[in-house]
Structure 1
């Protein structure tokens, strides 16, 4: 990697706001499938609304009226701390965006993000923020992975049509068409820099990419996460985007009490203890060509720089 890019490691959180445009020319023509790209897991969870009803899990929805339950959901559901803009400025280029409709919302097409609780900010507002950033940074390619579509069941077609049309009209000609194999140079030449993955097969269009496979360890155990992802990288998908998720996953059975009953702890603190221990393993994976690497607390010191520097050996 060029010296100027390496020197940015020593600067502040803004050092990677234009890291793609500063990569050496040798990396401008390789498929983006083979570029190491930092991502954030449950990207909007910094915005969870403690006053909202519980979206999931289903068995806890009836406890939405209890503040203590919602507070617990917030403590263990917030996987990110920084806003979308700060994540972008810090170098994140892949966003895990889980879309939902709030029950009984007076606006028939208003949508939110969710992770246990719903977010305070609606989907359209956040996509507009991302679009504005993309216009200011035309050489930075952003990958948006929209999925889940919780609460769409009663008005499926109406809501999908509204969201797809909004995306198409908002990003316009900046959208990378899915028929091409994108490289940085091809995106720059065509003046495109937004890739939209939409995990709903009935709504595949030329401007929407299909689901991006997301591999993760499904565990709170760092060793298991490393083992699972090592197997993925041995048989890495080719000719498509894929995500290696370094994120931790709380158990879905009684073992979850081991974590959530720690009165002075929360999910962010657990990640702060575990993520630095995962980064040495990640550094060793450069030759295996990981593609998108996503994490909780993606702006935590060391994660983004470690992912970007994996490109130095490509």
Structure 2
């Protein structure tokens, strides 16, 4: 990516007209399973996988490398994704036996959550006009104590930078122009009841994220086309995630043991999704957050951000 293609500060670089558009009506690039850019092959199968797979890994040394290839969903670090233009992060959390820390996980264990949060904080400190949406919606092997630990960790890391879930700002006033008048630079969704003990976090009722659950690119496109044409978005100002991902079934993996998610599915998923997006329009009932695996491929960020030109016209 050349200097002129950099999207590190794309929010701060928007035209004044677009900074007055509600967040629910902007086209925003996001990453699917954002923390799975590095996974620990020496740490064993993570608790998000069935126990039978963990047992198989103990008796067969080839299991972990296969899981590793099919579980990696990103190449860039979280900070690298943000510098590449990503503004929505999807993080899956898992308690790790024998460790007091909470980790990101996808098949295998990734980095500690605390380290990823520090990457996000560093990015926001370096780029004060950028705004990040953080979505925690998958949890494994975590107790209520673990959840409270995570919530306190998020509050301690970002403090006043968090756009509180009890903000007086309505969905239609939640524009970059208005957000910049506050210290807030991050919005945190947390899909667990422990969230209710704190005013800082948003519930999943304010964000929709339907999943096609298919390994077929045509089925993926048809899924989104139905949702787009049938106006499935409530249009009440909530955020909406269009997931441009293909999901491998056990059959897909077994037929491609030496392949990977990156080489087998992403070359079909992202081009098909971007091709579908080309004629769509961002709005409170149209396109909003868009996510894919391996966000550095296929000019994903540029293609999504180019949709915002249609808002002006």
Q: Same fold (TM over 0.5)?
A: yes
Residues 247 and 294, structure 1, Cα contact 8 Å, conserved in 2: yes
Distance 2:268 2:288 in 1: 24
Distance 2:79 2:67 in 1: 24
Match of 1:235 among 206, 227, 232: 232
Residues 276 and 302, structure 1, Cα contact 8 Å, conserved in 2: no
Residues 24 and 238, structure 2, Cα contact 8 Å, conserved in 1: yes
Could you list the runs of 5+ residues in structure 2 that have no partner in the other structure? Answer: none
Residues 197 and 209, structure 1, Cα contact 8 Å, conserved in 2: yes
Other structure's SS at 1:113 match = strand
Matched, 1:134 2:121: no
Matched, 1:295 2:286: no
- Give the paired residue count: 294
Query: How far did residue 287 of structure 1 move?
Result: 5.5
Query: How far did residue 193 of structure 1 move?
Result: 0.9
Matched, 1:62 2:55: yes
Distance 2:67 2:194 in 1: 32
Q: Deviations along 1:126-162, whole A, 9 cap, x unmatched?
A: 101111111111111101111222101xxx2211111
Residue in 1 that maps onto 2:179: 187
- TM value normalised by structure 1: 0.88
Distance 1:43 1:67 in 2: 27
Distance 2:132 2:299 in 1: 20
Match of 2:79 among 77, 85, 96: 85
- TM value normalised by structure 2: 0.89
Residues 95 and 140, structure 2, Cα contact 8 Å, conserved in 1: yes
Matched, 1:309 2:306: yes
Residue in 1 that maps onto 2:137: 147
Distance 2:4 2:147 in 1: 36
Residues 66 and 258, structure 2, Cα contact 8 Å, conserved in 1: no
Distance 1:96 1:260 in 2: 27
**Alpha-carbon spacing, 1:287–1:83, altered in 2? closer, same or farther (3 Å):** closer
Residues 40 and 94, structure 1, Cα contact 8 Å, conserved in 2: yes
Distance 1:18 1:267 in 2: 30
Deviates more, 1:191-200 or 1:273-282: 273-282
Residue in 2 that maps onto 1:163: 150
Root mean square deviation of aligned Cα: 1.8
Residue in 2 that maps onto 1:51: 42
Distance 1:266 1:129 in 2: 27
